[in-house]
Amino acid sequence: MKDQISFIPIGGIGDVTRNMYLYEYQNEILIIDCGLGFADETMLGVDLLLPDISYLLSTNKKIIGMALTHGHEDHVGALPYILPQLAKKTGFSFPIFAGPLTAGLANEKLNEFGVPVRVKTVDYENGEIKLGSFTISFIRVTHSIPDSSHIFIKTPVGNFYHGSDFKFDLTPFDGKKTDFLKISKAADQGILCLSSDCLRAEKEGFTKSEQVLAENIEKEMRNCEGKFILTTYSSNISRLNQAILASKKLGRKVAFVGRSLINTATIAQKLGYMKLDRGMEIDVHEIRKYKDSNLLLLVAGSQAQENSALSRIVNGDHKEVSISSKDVIVFSADPIPGNEVSINSLIDSIAKKGARVVYSQITDDFHVSGHGSADDLMLLMELAHPKKLIPIGGTFRQMVAYKNLAKRQGFDDRDILLLEDGQEIIFTKDQATMGRKISIKNVYVDEISGEELESFVIRDRQKISKEGVIIVVAEIDSQTGQIVDYPTIISRGLPNQENRTANKKVAKDIKDGFSTKKGRVTDWVYIRKKIGEIAEKSVFKHLRRRPLVLPVIIEV
């Protein structure tokens, strides 16, 4: 058999989130990223989504290491959920590497969850890291969070360039530019395949620099007569720094509101990625001591999460912060797909309070994407000069748009590989072919318990929300197999008239269904199933509904 490398995405293909990618050589696996997904309004009672690591738990191959590209939740957020599962199989036996800020954010999360693992910090100026048959190096790139990386992976078969989220920002706010020289040196060694961010492949030109926002934030803050409230992703440190700089010029105190933002700010200040002059920062409990016109509040909850700080403020449930008509609230973040309805509802609620609210649908002055547009993506193709291309981190239409860009750059159709999660690509020195298709399922995290949920639980919740629930409590004589009396019907989520119909007609149909039953009961599972089937047919016949039916059997 030829020497070969397998590339297997188990999250992040056809989706913006849950980024997790496997590179396999013989019996070794290198993992890139370990990210979360976010629930939409159809996923009732769900907080988060995780990559499906069933394959990693079942394979006999050895995990030899993990590399994290940057500190966004969709690339590192699943670590405290995934690592304990992998530990049951491997122990915490493989090293994890990341840049300084990424490692700091990841370690804080792991510490919060009590996971006894620490991500190791890499120095961009240092050389290569040997992991089994793999050799990796980190290449600094610009994105909407400082300290973002691409990973150059050397293997016995060929070299791979993992180009996760990036844009080519020539004037980044922190002054740390993309290391174009290192990309060129990687290309000089030959790149078999480039896996590239494709989220903004449909947008022409280059993505704007973060630097253009600073002036707009300062201008809006200068004209604000009340509190200036800015909400963005907790990890968007560049945006937070821009607001802090404007606040410094205008003499406003700065308060971080929301646990995720407070944690990020603490880590960023500790590592030198965020600086506030002595006396500038105040605790949220102190804001009543100052005039509204002297305050900048940096608030978590830009995606209108139900229990976020911003949602609680808008709904009047926050102890320290309320909204007045003189306040300005700036949403400095694009909606994550699926969150648009919730965000628009929150914006409406703010508008009702008379405050000025600024968001991306009405102006581009307060947010720029961290993802490269068409010209950024084509420039990386030219710099890396790979033999093969795989678009990652986007929807399928964005993957197709990326393919069209690549064809404009002279790549052949056969060299641009559009995948699905779980689809293996097998690379040899001279070709790439489709391999196995690994089954990938949705893995949900319950927002109350924090435990993983099976998909059938979500289906049941959706059914209850639309059709209601009926509980049938039936007493069965174990000697005769007959129902002792009419069963008790408990229904929820049905109109009053339908409740009465269910109570009367469904109970009668179940009673009649057991009228001819004779003989001792030996199979209680069958009895329970039969009652459920009769109840479901009866409800549909009389009410044209399909509620969730839960039979409860009492043996007498």
Q: 337 and 216: one domain?
A: yes
Cα 286 to Cα 116: distance, rounded to the nearest angstrom: 35
What percent of the chain is helix, strand and coil (3-state, nearest 5)?
A: 35, 25, 40
Q: 81 and 166: one domain?
A: yes
Cα 59 to Cα 56: distance, rounded to the nearest angstrom: 6
Domain CATH code at residue 139: 3.60.15.10
Closest CA to 242 of 144, 308, 337: 144
| pLDDT given for residue 411 in this prediction | 97
Closest CA to 65 of 139, 112, 115, 117: 117
Q: 162 and 224: one domain?
A: no
Q: 35 and 179: one domain?
A: yes
* Helical H segments across 502-553, by residue range: 507-513, 524-543
Domain end among 333, 358, 383: 358
Q: 521 and 485: one domain?
A: yes
Q: How many CB atoms lie within 10 A of CB 212?
A: 12
- Is the separation of the CB atoms in 539 and 502 below 8 Å? yes
Q: Which residues pair with 503 in a beta bridge?
A: none
Q: How many CB atoms lie within 10 A of CB 343?
A: 22
Cα 150 to Cα 225: distance, rounded to the nearest angstrom: 43
| 300 falls within a domain | yes
Please identify every stretch of the chain with a pLDDT value under 70, giving residue numbers as ranges: 1, 39-47, 337-338, 444-467, 496, 517-519, 521-522, 556
Q: Which residues pair with 433 in a beta bridge?
A: 426
Domain end among 327, 358, 389: 358
| 382 falls within a domain | yes
| pLDDT given for residue 452 in this prediction | 46
Q: Beta 228-231 vs 295-299: how paired, if at all?
A: parallel
Q: 403 and 439: one domain?
A: yes
- Return the structure tokens found at 61: 């191959």
Domain CATH code at residue 235: 3.40.50.10710
**Structure letter (DSSP) for residue 292:** G
Phi, psi (5° rounding) for residue 404?
Answer: -65, -40
Closest CA to 332 of 226, 201, 217, 198: 217
- Is the separation of the CB atoms in 298 and 308 below 8 Å? no
| 47 falls within a domain | yes
| 139 falls within a domain | yes
Closest CA to 170 of 216, 218, 200, 207: 207
Question: What is the domain extent for residue 226?
Answer: 210-358
- Return the structure tokens found at 185: 């040196």
Q: 180 and 36: one domain?
A: yes
Q: Which residues pair with 50 in a beta bridge?
A: 443
| 31 falls within a domain | yes
Q: Say how many domains are in the chain.
A: 3
Q: 413 and 425: one domain?
A: yes
Q: 197 and 52: one domain?
A: yes
Closest CA to 406 of 395, 417, 393, 397: 417
- Return the structure tokens found at 369: 């994407």
- Return the structure tokens found at 239: 């945006």
Q: 354 and 242: one domain?
A: yes
320 vs 4, 287, 298, CA distance in Å?
Answer: 59, 8, 14
| 457 falls within a domain | no
**Structure letter (DSSP) for residue 94:** S
| pLDDT given for residue 448 in this prediction | 37
Q: What is the pTM of this model?
A: 0.80
- Return the structure tokens found at 75: 């690339």
Domain end among 358, 383, 400: 358
Q: 202 and 217: one domain?
A: no
| 321 falls within a domain | yes
Using N-to-C axis directions, what is the helix angle for 259-270 and 237-250, rounded to 10°? 80
Q: 484 and 420: one domain?
A: no
Edge-first strand order for the sheet with 159-163 is 129-131, 134-141, 148-154, 159-163, 193-197, 388-392
- Return the structure tokens found at 474: 């039936």
| 456 falls within a domain | no
**Residues in contact with 442: Cβ distance below 8 Å, sequence separation at least 6, in sequence order:** 49, 52, 455, 458
Question: What SS3 class is residue 174?
Answer: coil
Cα 369 to Cα 236: distance, rounded to the nearest angstrom: 11
Terminal-residue alpha carbon distance, the chain: 67
Domain CATH code at residue 497: 3.10.20.580
